[in-house]
Chain A
């Protein structure tokens, strides 16, 4: 059977941005960030996660944030706050 060339109808996946620095947990406490995506039970799930993290690690502070709509990206102000006030961020959804 002969061969045929086709124009690929897909697009290459863009490379994800690399981390700007490596992150390791030191002896200092964690500044924990939480992003609630506003689904019905996200807050319950995230509160359980916060309690779990506190049991395993030293947590100095928790900053709670929430998206106004689950289907849209978080506003820049929320992301800026998390970048400034958190060492790591947990985001979760739960209907």
Chain B
């Protein structure tokens, strides 16, 4: 296995600047290696500590990140994780997320370069996510919680610095989204009335997984009044059914993140996740007439001619292609709110389990301790 010392001898592996926090920040911003916020200087010593729980070859890319197709070796990713403020225990989950983004169905090239405001939403399940401190309670999609902030930020920094997702050249987002700083959550498995996402997808309960979704910003669903499953779901479907969503035109897998209180009401009469998905698929529809004449003519009648060429104007347009395409999780704290997260269209979610280099599932990052 290649040593860090030998890798840092290669031309361009190290850069030199003034030894001052502000000077380091200025230097990194001038180089374009930034998300605009201050960072921890990625010194060789800090990068070596960041790699303490990495059992991979330090020079073997886990992904080549488009659009520049930069090789994301553990060393380079570790430099970004240091900058983001990660602890070494966070690092295996950063690598795991990048591995998931490498899956073809995610369409990382398209999601990096598009004008659409999407960014990887990282949904973690399992024991190593809890061990790393990824929060799943109050303000789960907001600020304050370090693991959520820095793991998502490290992934984003790698996408910019290694992949070249520079606004205006490699990232052509018209407006982008604040979620491009970080978007990382854990499912609140203890508060969910249903099986957690990774179990639904066929992984053991004690596996640790990340599911990556090319997400827009979350949109709140406020319902303080409904007392029945159908009442809550009616409010949810009303929030989902919007004409400007990519999911109405393409495929994609939007996310419904129930708050625990809404989830408890919806499951109170035995409704399963699959039934929730079917109910929402049927109810979250918009009549074709709600779209503009040009959109009906070009996007529906021409581009989706097999379905809409001669469809009457009262034809219901579903907000995603198949009922099971909707991803349902439970996360957050107390309160009568849930979140709807639309996605990019030409993308599918990708889920990866945390494994050692030899392929064995791990329950703790301690199993990945180097040397």
Contact = CB atoms under 8 A, between A and B. Distances in A.
Interface of A: 1-14, 38, 40, 69, 71-73
Contact of B76 (A11, A38, A71, A72): A11
11 contacts: A6-B16, A6-B24, A7-B47, A9-B162, A10-B31, A10-B162, A11-B161, A11-B162, A12-B70, A40-B299, A72-B110
Max chain B CB contacts within 10 Å: which of A1, A9, A71?
A: A9
B44 interface: yes
Contacts of A71: 107, 109-111, 113-114, 344-346
Contact of B42 (A6, A12, A40): A6
Contact of B17 (A4, A12, A13, A38): A4
B298 A9 contact: no
A5 B23 contact: no
Contacts of A2: 18-19
Contact of A5 (B44, B75, B109, B110): B44
Given A1-B20, A71-B346, A10 B110 contact: no
A73 B104 CA distance: 11
B91 interface: no
Interface in B18-38: 18-20, 23-24, 28, 31, 33
Interface stretch (B6-14, B144-152, B237-245, B357-365): B6-14
A47 to B, nearest CB: 16
B60 to A, nearest CB: 13
Contacts of A13: 68, 70, 164
Given A9-B33, A9-B79, A4 B41 contact: yes
Contacts of B110: 69, 71-72
Chain B interface category by residue count: 35 or more
A83 to B, nearest CB: 21
Given A2-B19, A12-B12, 12 more contacts: A3-B18, A4-B18, A6-B16, A7-B43, A7-B78, A8-B12, A9-B42, A9-B162, A11-B162, A13-B164, A71-B107, A71-B345
B19 A3 contact: yes
Contacts of A3: 16-19
B157 interface: yes
A38 B72 CA distance: 31
B298 A40 contact: yes
Given A5-B44, A72-B110, A10 B76 contact: yes
B13 A7 contact: yes
Contacts of B205: none
- 9 closest cross-chain pairs (CB), A and B: A11-B70, A71-B110, A4-B19, A9-B79, A7-B79, A2-B19, A9-B161, A11-B162, A7-B47
Contact of B33 (A4, A10, A40): A10
A39 to B, nearest CB: 10
A5 to B, nearest CB: 5
